[in-house]
Amino acid sequence: MKRWRNSNWRVSSAQNSASRMSSSNSILPYFPSWIELKLRWTSLANPIIRHTPREEMPLPHRIFCGREYLVNEITSLLATESTSRVCITGVGGMGKTSVGLAVVESAIKKNIFLEKHVFWVPCIEAKSPDLLRCILYAQLRITAESYDTLGPLVAELDASKQRRLLLLDNFETPWLSGEDQTKVFQILVRLAKLPHIALLVTMTSGFTPQDIEWQHRPLAPLDPPAARDAFKRKYRDAAGGHELIADGPELDDLLASIGYIPLAITLIAASGGCLGISPDDLLRDWREEGTGMMSGNQTRSMDDTIRLSMERGVVRSNPEALELLAILSLLPAGTTGNNLDWWAPKLAASRRHAAVKTLRTAALIELQGNGRFATSRVFVRPTIQSYMAHQDRISTDVRNQVHDACYNFVLRHKSIPDDHKFKADLEALASEEINIQGLLMEIPVNALRPNAVDALIAFSLYQSWTKPSTVVASHALEVARAILDDPHVYDGKAAARRVAEAHHALGKSLLGLDQYEDACTHFEEAIARFKALPGGADLHSAGEASMDLLDTWMYIGTKSSSELESLAQEAQARLSYDDETDKYHVARGLLAFGGFLRWSNCLNEALDPLSRAKTMFDDLRCPASTAECLYHMARSCAFYGGYAKALPIIKDAVEKADESGQVGLITKTLRVSAGYLILLRSYAEASAILTRFLSLSQTMGSPLAIAQGLELSAYYSAAIMDLPGAQVAYQGAQMQFTKIKSTWLGSDGVDRCLDNLRMLESVTEMDEIIFSELMTPVPWDVCIE
């Protein structure tokens, strides 16, 4: 069997975030179908994937009146590529989303699009181009190395010419709310350039983005018969099945006075049904606010419609209700009943529940879930959220309270992989990720509130362990640098420490994205700043940054063994500095040096520090570091083919990695475990582990992790004599390795996959002899990464 001889193999430590493997809407250009099916099942078992903020398309509204002709017309437009750019516009509350969802249902029923090729993109959360890209990736179930560019998403959409439909709902949020409209426009143009991708856009503004050939369909108010039907149905629902009795001319007068606008009808009918108010009473309330308010300026009429619902007696009787509405309006993804404790800490639980009940009665918020308030998602309707977010309808005090709650939430769930609560903290942060990122990115460089920069740094570290991204991490560094010149926020040492921590956090995200050279720059800067802190160095933090720098240099593969040994010794010395009773940092130093020795093939020397470190970590109950020790020990035992001896050790490493919840570590140990099982011909067990590994490597977003997963899949397929499966997976792996070809890991991976592909393309059937000639995806016979 051919052996791969390079001595610097290194698995990526990029982390996990939203998985696309659990959905039938996945776009997977590289995997054999059997892998895709297994990944969908496996992703359901992963808590981080399970909590990833990704919304399913809502069902079409049951009460839908007066738009049937328009729905059929738009459906016909979408059926033809030349007219498949449709923009539905209208003032807030005109029913744009209802029409869009009805069009989607119609298009699926008429077999214009397959259901799995229709995607809902809720743009109400997209307050910036960065968030819009993030939501597009999540809703289209596409993973990439980061959300920082649209390139991977467009490439995957373009890879298949199967027609797809994207419903970009409430597009006015990114188009009208942000200052950088050009970037939003560029995202839309890139999608529009794909002729087989149909676009259905709903937005408040009647001014549609130019340079795209839109089929513009503005929504008019409902006609009177449809408005009557919609009101009576909604009133009956809100009244628990009781019919509206006074449904004569007074109802016509009411509907005329509110302009036949669908959302106004919904709000008024829900309020009337809940409280048993007649159309005459509702009309009287409207007239107190101004009977002519629906004429002329339709934007003002929608605002007053919502305001009227907010100022009804049932709402006025509960002063906490409006405060809670303002709080929820700042959370684009909504929140769970449980997490309201964080976002509205000043409201006691009983008062909070009463406020929620009031807002639901007034149809100002909705609950979505399994019926249990604690786990249901509490959210503000998009048009009402938009109403609250503009024109200073949310007080400065409430904004500050929500920002402070965000910072406290992040810092309350700040931990490291060796903490016993790390896994639970990851799940908690994942459940509020969109809300947190949106609020953190609003933090100004000046005029900081307490804990703001600490929350930015902590959340940057969270993302480095889940879905690495430089967006928040770069902002964290910018804000941290600003406080160096502001003695009113932090003293000199505290400010300097936060700059060092921000460099370290950004370096970790860059490392997770396989941007090794840039990662080195920030790790080196962090080390220098930790060593030069005013009042005394923080050598433990410098040592941790040195460990990351050592890992990065081993990825790059350009440093000599003596240079790496010097850094490993420095990392150990810094971590163990001046306190031998600090067992955790002493053990971390042993791990750093032992890992280097294993990497450099000094196996006998490596086992001693690794074993000592493992004993300390076991005593301290540190699962992540224990797993790292076991990983290196297993690789040492496997040297020269000792796979049977190494297998139980790497299985223990997987168990400890699972206990920690650190996804990159889980992936690393699963990869080696699957490889050993393949070489030992335990194919059934290898298949189960490989399925999970493939899922995690895809969702981590690192090209290296994805490439390694695909290459290992190819090798497994070849081992079980699946020639087509091996060829497809090798092609995918080669493409992923090409993304990091500038590194030795990437270039070696490309060459290895191409060599194996050439061999497999020359045969028509797989056999043991051909399999034995393949280069192994991991150099299992030598002690390297």
Q: What is the pLDDT of residues 11-49, one digit of tens each?
A: 233 233 333 323 333 333 333 333 233 333 333 333 333
Please spell the DSSP secondary structure of 345-406, one letter per residue. Answer: TTS-HHHHHHHHHHHHHTTSEEEESSS-TTTSEEEE-HHHHHHHHTTT-S-HHHHHHHHHHH
Least confident of 308-317, 365-374, 471-480: 308-317
d(CA 337, CA 328): 11
728 in any annotated domain:
no
- Based on the domain organization, do 279 and 203 belong to the same domain? no
- Counting Cβ atoms within 10 Å, is residue 681 exposed (0-12), middle (13-18) or buried (19+)? exposed
Any idea what the CATH number is for the domain that residue 85 is in?
A: 3.40.50.300
Same domain, 81 and 144: yes
* Tens-place pLDDT, residues 618-659: 999 999 999 999 999 999 888 777 889 999 999 999 999 999
Query: Who has greater pLDDT, 84 or 23?
Result: 84
Give the pLDDT band (50/70/90) at residue 487: low
Paired strand residues for 198: 165
Indicate if 82 and 211 belong to the same structural domain. Answer: yes
Torsional class of 367: left (φ above 0), alpha (ψ -120 to 50), beta (otherwise): beta
- What letter represents residue 192's amino acid? A
Confidence of residue 219 (pLDDT cuts 50, 70, 90): confident
Q: pLDDT confidence of 284, banded at 50, 70, 90? A: confident
Q: Where are the alpha helices (DSSP H) in 147-211?
A: 151-159, 172-177, 181-192
Which carries the bigger pLDDT value, residue 471 or residue 179? 471
Question: What separation in angstroms does the CA of 682 have from each of 301, 495, 654?
Answer: 69, 54, 17
Question: What strands, in cross-sheet order, belong to the sheet with 335-336?
Answer: 335-336, 377-380, 365-368
Choose among 753, 746, 781: nearest CA to 555: 746
Percent of the chain beyond pLDDT 70? 84
Q: What is the pLDDT of residues 169-211, one digit of tens each?
A: 988 778 766 567 788 888 999 999 999 999 999 986 656 677 8
Q: What's residue 781's pLDDT?
A: 39
Domain identity same for 230 and 350: no
Work out the mean pLDDT of the chain and round it to a whole number. 82
**Better pLDDT: 179 or 377:** 377
Classified as helix, coil or strand, 225 is helix
pLDDT band at 314 (very low <50, low <70, confident <90, very high): low
Three-class SS state of 339: coil
Query: Distance from CA of residue 549 to its chain's centroid?
Result: 27
How would you write 587-630 as a 3-class SS string? Answer: HHHHHHHHHHHHHCCCHHHHHHHHHHHHHHHHHHCCHHHHHHHH
How far is 36 from 40, CA to CA, in rounded Å? 6
Q: Which of 61-70, 150-159, 451-460 has the least mean pLDDT? A: 61-70
Distance from the first to the final alpha carbon of the chain: 20
Residue 548: inside a domain, yes or no?
no
Lowest mean pLDDT among 328-342, 461-475, 476-490, 607-621: 476-490
pLDDT band at 694 (very low <50, low <70, confident <90, very high): confident
Within this chain, do residues 204 and 111 fall inside the same structural domain, yes or no?
Answer: yes
Cα 349 to Cα 333, 344, 356, 398: the distances in Å are: 21, 9, 10, 18
Q: Is residue 747 part of a domain?
A: no
**Pairwise CA distance, residues 101 & 193, whole Å:** 24
Q: How many domains does the chain have?
A: 3
pLDDT over 90, % of the chain: 42
The mean pLDDT of 714-729, rounded to a whole number, is 94
Q: What is the model's pLDDT at position 631?
A: 95
Residue that wins the pLDDT comparison between 356 and 18? 356
Answer yes or no: are the C-beta atoms of 21 and 44 closer than 8 Å: no
- pLDDT attached to residue 91: 61
Of 284-293, 345-354, 377-386, 768-777, which gets the smallest average pLDDT? Answer: 284-293
- Residue pair 283/379 in contact (Cβ under 8 Å)? The answer is no
pLDDT for residue 602 is more than 80: yes
Q: Does any domain span residue 702?
A: no
Q: Could you give the CA distance from residue 329 to residue 374 in angstroms, rounded to a whole number? A: 19
Dist CA 657 CA 648 (whole Å): 14
Q: Is residue 569 part of a domain?
A: no
Pairwise CA distance, residues 580 & 175, whole Å: 58
DSSP three-state, residue 164? strand
Distance CA 261, CA 4 (A): 69
Which residue range is the domain that position 231 belongs to? 224-311
Last residue of a domain, one of 285, 311, 337: 311
Higher-confidence residue: 280 or 31? 280
pLDDT of residue 557: 79
Residues 370 and 235 in one domain: no
Q: Are residues 156 and 289 in the same domain?
A: no
Is the sign of the CA dihedral 14, 18, 22, 25 positive or negative?
negative
Contact indicator for 549, 567 with CB cutoff of 8 Å: yes
Residue 439, pLDDT > 90, answer yes
The answer to whether residue 572 scores a pLDDT higher than 80 is: yes
79 and 185: one domain? yes
Residues 375 and 353 in one domain: yes
Dist. CA 148–CA 732, nearest whole Å: 22
**DSSP one-letter code for 29:** S
Mean pLDDT, rounded, for 567-577: 89
Domain edge (last residue) among 218, 233, 262: 218
The answer to whether position 199 is within a domain reads yes
Does 202 map to a domain? yes
> Is the overall model pTM greater than 0.75, yes or no?
no
Domain assignment present for residue 608? The answer is no
- Residue 325 is part of a domain; what is its CATH number? 1.10.10.10
pLDDT band at 292 (very low <50, low <70, confident <90, very high): very low
Q: Which residue has the higher pLDDT, 310 or 762?
A: 762
- And the tokens for 668? 């690393």
pLDDT at 49: 32
135 has a pLDDT exceeding 60 = yes
pLDDT value for 437: 93
The predicted structure's pLDDT at residue 526: 96
509: nearest Cα among 154, 150, 147, 54: 147
Write the pLDDT tens digit of every residue in 511-557: 988 899 999 999 999 999 999 999 889 999 999 999 999 999 988 87
Q: Do 669 and 627 touch, CB atoms closer than 8 A?
A: yes
| Per-residue confidence (pLDDT) for residue 7, from 0 to 100 | 32
The Cβ of residue 288 has, within 10 Å, a number of other Cβ atoms equal to 10
Residue 454's pLDDT is 95
Residue 507 CA to residue 522 CA, distance in Å, equals 5
Task: Indicate whether 142 and 198 sit together in one domain.
Answer: yes
Do 199 and 82 share a structural domain?
yes
Last residue of a domain, one of 218, 253, 275: 218
Predicted local distance difference test score (pLDDT) of residue 29? 38
For residues 138 and 250, state if they share a domain: no
